[in-house]
Amino acid sequence: MSTATLPIPSFPLQRPVPVASVFLPKEHGSWSLALEPLALGLLVAPSWAGGALAGAAVTGFFARRPLKAALDATPSLRRQAARRALALLVVLAGVGLVQSLVLSPWTAFWPLLPAAALGLVFVWFDAQGESRAAAAEVAGSAAFAFVPAAFVTLAGGDAPTAFALAVLALARSVPAVLAVRSYLRMAKGGAPRRTLSLVAAAVALLASLGLVLTAHMPSVAVPLAVVLFARVLWLLGPWRPTWPAKRIGMMEAALGLLYVALLGLGWPAV
């Protein structure tokens, strides 16, 4: 008597998903644009409530990539890992927000309104697969630029100081996004788009000068704005370097560290 051999189903082997690959952003420039404003805000206006809010903002920054993977319709080990990472990040962000709300009155959180609106704009672009669009990158960087203003109000500072700090963060991030995008476009042989980058850098310089003259920020903001404006002229002019994107990113990170350190140390106590 013979017995039939039943076929044994086989499944494709899937390698374990590295934890870091689930939530660490691929865009290295986004690290500077997100973390620099938070560091600047904590240097200018340190407080326990601000620190808790900064922690929530950082977890929100890391949640973007696992959120996209978690919504993938195809079952996979990566989707499972992304959902676990997203759940953990949501819990951590919630803890940070609750802590900051316990430590400060809710009226001190008004600077987060423009940050939330700009963040939603970025999320909309990201959901359409357009996270690399100019409007998306500007909205994302500007959203983080408004968070330091909340650090000021959470530390008991006034609205003019909060506004000045937001302007400083915007003056650093928005021209940087536009200038680097234009530089990389020209490096790939695309048509130059210098006007918007130069206008943004000029507005940032004039805004910094105006706030220094009205005593709303330290005088070191002006030479820093001049350096950043000169950087835009250099990257987009006929004498621009032939550097790869990674080297440009390293230069921007170094400029960002210098910007944060000098402004943070030169700002009077809130």
Residues whose CB is less than 8 angstroms from the CB of residue 93 and which lie 6 or more positions away in sequence, other chains included: 55, 56, 59, 60, 63
Which residue in this structure is represented by tokens 């909309």? Answer: 124
Task: Tell me, yes or no, whether 137 lies in a domain.
Answer: yes
Structural domain boundaries, residue 52: 20-266
| Residue type, position 265, single letter | L
For 160-194, what is each residue's pLDDT tens digit?
Answer: 999 999 999 999 999 999 999 999 888 888 877 88
Could you give the number of structural domains in the chain?
Answer: 1
Closest to 59 (Cα-Cα) out of 83, 15, 25, 90: 90
**pLDDT for position 22:** 59
**pLDDT for position 81:** 77
Task: Tell me, yes or no, whether 8 lies in a domain.
Answer: no
Task: Tell me, yes or no, whether 3 lies in a domain.
Answer: no
Residue 17 has pLDDT above 70, yes or no: no
pTM over the 0.75 mark:
yes
**pLDDT for position 267:** 86
Residue that wins the pLDDT comparison between 157 and 3: 157
Residue 184, exposed/middle/buried by CB under 10 A (0-12, 13-18, 19+)?
middle
Task: Tell me, yes or no, whether 5 lies in a domain.
Answer: no
d(CA 9, CA 203): 65
d(CA 138, CA 220): 25
Task: Tell me, yes or no, whether 72 lies in a domain.
Answer: yes
Task: Tell me, yes or no, whether 110 lies in a domain.
Answer: yes
The CA–CA distances, whole Å, from 66 to 72, 94, 204 equal 10, 17, 34
The CA–CA distances, whole Å, from 149 to 52, 69, 81, 181 equal 14, 32, 34, 26
User: Helices marked H in the chain — which ranges?
Assistant: 19-23, 28-44, 48-70, 77-103, 112-127, 134-154, 159-187, 195-213, 221-236, 245-266
Both tokens of residue 190?
């695309």
Identify the three-state secondary structure at position 240.
coil
Which residue in this structure is represented by tokens 């006034």? Answer: 158
Task: Tell me, yes or no, whether 10 lies in a domain.
Answer: no
Task: Tell me, yes or no, whether 4 lies in a domain.
Answer: no
For 62-97, what is each residue's pLDDT tens digit?
Answer: 887 777 766 666 666 777 777 887 888 889 999 999
**pLDDT for position 24:** 63
